[in-house]
Amino acid sequence: MRTFLTSAAIGLMASGAWAAAIIDNGVIQLGVDDLGQLNVPGGVLSPVEGTSSVGLRHLPTGNEATSHGCLCEGWGVGIGETGVSGFANNDTGIGNLTGISFVSDPTSATSIVELTSGELRVTHAFAPTVETPDLYRVKVTIENISGADIADLRYTRTFDWDVEPDTFSEVVTHVGVASTPSVLLAIDNGFVDSDPFAARFEIVAGGTGDFVDLGPDDHGSNFDFGFGALAAGGSFSFDIYYGASATEAAAFVALNAVGAEVASLGQPGTDPTGTGFNAAGLPTATFMFGFGDVGGIVIPPTPNPVPLPAAGWLLLAGLGALGGTRILSRRAA
């Protein structure tokens, strides 16, 4: 069932009105708030916890993956050499952002914001992918409107996994961190502040970098990126992916199809290998969020990855087993 709850008028946020949207493609449903973060009220009650808040849902099962307990999903952007940042997270806070516009329709939504201090404009454009129904693509575009060159552009995305039907007891997998130089830090803590310059710490021992089926515990993922230099008047774009598949194997096929290079998987604690059913026989899904065009190597379409050192990934790429490497021309030396 599709739910739609936004007036979708350009300039709504600038006038101070609240705007949000619950969008879907028939398989994946997202609750998109006006500043580009997830988790909004107004959805159908989820089947296990009965929450009406929507962050990321798998419609074939109805399972919700992120809005339980806390609305811990968000993003931040920053300038390394000055420490100036802006961020939006409905749990840990919103700072130094001014909404410019928020528009949506039943399947897509676009948020445009600027740093209140004036240095950056950030666009998050949410739309279904054409490669697979299991993922949404968020095209993120960061523009330097400061009038001065930036040497050290930062971006953070924070995500707390709360995967039904085993809510608050999930296993988390990170893949692609070691082979993506733009990732400054990747941890299993989805509760940290989305300000790129805030404190960071892992929740489960070993929850830094790449890891497989960590947990079960109540944890998530935070990815801090350093994208290097951005000239005055220039822009930089990359992709974020949100979605879910019936099985872990299908999830990796979907991530490969869109060219994702870094990803986090969230799975119920009693279905850690992503079979599609938990120990009680309830239907499950493997939830995922990831990144593309961030200078890494496309994730292979194989389940249960064993993290390789960066040299190993690069060797595979050289042999042609993997593709899709993108060199970020604006990255600082």
Q: What was the pLDDT predicted at 303?
A: 59
CB 21 within 8 A of CB 37: no
Q: What percent of the chain has pLDDT over 90?
A: 82
Of residues 260, 253, 249, 264, the one with CA closest to residue 301: 253
CATH fold, domain 72-319, is: Beta-galactosidase; Chain A, domain 5 (2.70.98)
pLDDT in tens, 74-131: 999 999 999 999 999 999 999 999 999 999 999 999 999 999 999 999 999 999 999 9
CB 276 within 8 A of CB 247: yes
Radius of gyration of the chain (CA): 18
pLDDT in tens, 168-179: 999 999 999 999
CB 96 within 8 A of CB 195: no
List of E strands, the chain: 20-24, 28-33, 56-58, 63-64, 73-79, 84-89, 93-95, 97-104, 109-115, 120-128, 135-144, 150-160, 170-175, 183-187, 211-217, 220-230, 235-245, 262-268, 286-292
Which of 1-10, 35-44, 300-309 tops mean pLDDT? 35-44
Q: Give 51-55's long-range contacts (Cβ < 8 A, gap of 24+).
A: 54/3, 54/22, 54/29, 54/30, 55/30, 55/31
Entry pTM: 0.87
**In this structure, is the dihedral angle defined by the CA atoms of residues 7, 12, 17 and 18, taken in order, positive or negative?**
positive
